[in-house]
Structure 1
């Protein structure tokens, strides 16, 4: 279930120091369904983190990231380009895409159906979800019905 991100909004947060950038990145991915795809050390102690996603999600992620960066370090600037031109892609640093946990991918898919997954895939997904209401043993011993219900509840779907 990979997320395809192509020419969606581009969000950038620049901080002075790595701690602020790291805290911003953490807050960004927790606040919205965005793809954190890299960091760039600009020099002089400045670091920039980049994310991609839908415009609303990137805006929410940038707001959360900026607040987090201010709390622990020095926020320099925050910027979003809603529809970057294809030529902008050529000047961006060449990053490897960051792995997104399956539960985060599932949250971003409107037609996600856990019933199409095998029990082994359901167990793996459940183990990686932070808000699942099952213990490790319950996940290991759970049947399809139990796992699907818990995953749907954690995702807030019916």
Structure 2
């Protein structure tokens, strides 16, 4: 992890920690990788990102924590040694590869950018055979929509065979097939 920095903000109390974490992720392109809690209600929030982004995020988090609670300390480690990854990343939580992908802009939170990539890269879905005129018109209407519009439309349809996260992960073809099935049922 030498190309990233680790930022730490330690607070006393949960409210200050939550406020610090919120301010940090809003202030710069950083990824919240965990929190550590000790018995006397001290909570350390851990973030990673590029060094300049981490420094500005830690400053913003420290200021926010001081406004609502007690700030204990802050620290930025510009290039942590690879051996301390076990201390940075909690067991069962995100892996280093997940965090690196998120920092490079391939995270789930940027759903719109993923959808634009899906729209541009894939071929247009082909019209299924055996549709009546009404279903053909509906299919063409769906094909004209972006993936984002299809997902929004799918969330408002009852009887859809896919739900929740499945809608978020479905590509254009899968969404169109599910919408056609729901229409015919």
* Common topology (TM > 0.5): yes
Q: CA 1:123/1:72 → structure 2, altered by over 3 Å: closer, same or farther? A: farther
In structure 2, stretches of 5+ residues that fail to align are 100-106, 120-145, 153-185
2:115/2:148 contact within 8 Å kept: no
Count of aligned pairs: 113
How far, CA to CA, are the matches of 1:81 and 1:100 in structure 2?
26
Q: 1:91 aligns with which of 84, 87, 94?
A: 87
TM-score normalized by structure 2? 0.54
In structure 1, stretches of 5+ residues that fail to align are 1-5, 107-112, 126-158
How far, CA to CA, are the matches of 2:90 and 2:56 in structure 1?
24
TM-score normalized by structure 1? 0.62
Shift of residue 43, structure 1, vs aligned partner: 1.9
1:29/1:36 contact within 8 Å kept: yes
2:19/2:64 contact within 8 Å kept: yes
RMSD: 2.7
Q: Which has the higher contact order (CA 8 A, sep 6+)?
A: 1
How far, CA to CA, are the matches of 1:90 and 1:120 in structure 2?
38
Please say which structure displays the higher CA radius of gyration: 2
Please show how residues 3-152 of structure 1 align to structure 2 within 5 Å: 6-7=1-2, 8-92=4-88, 94=90, 96-97=93-94, 101-102=109-110, 115-118=116-119, 119-121=146-148
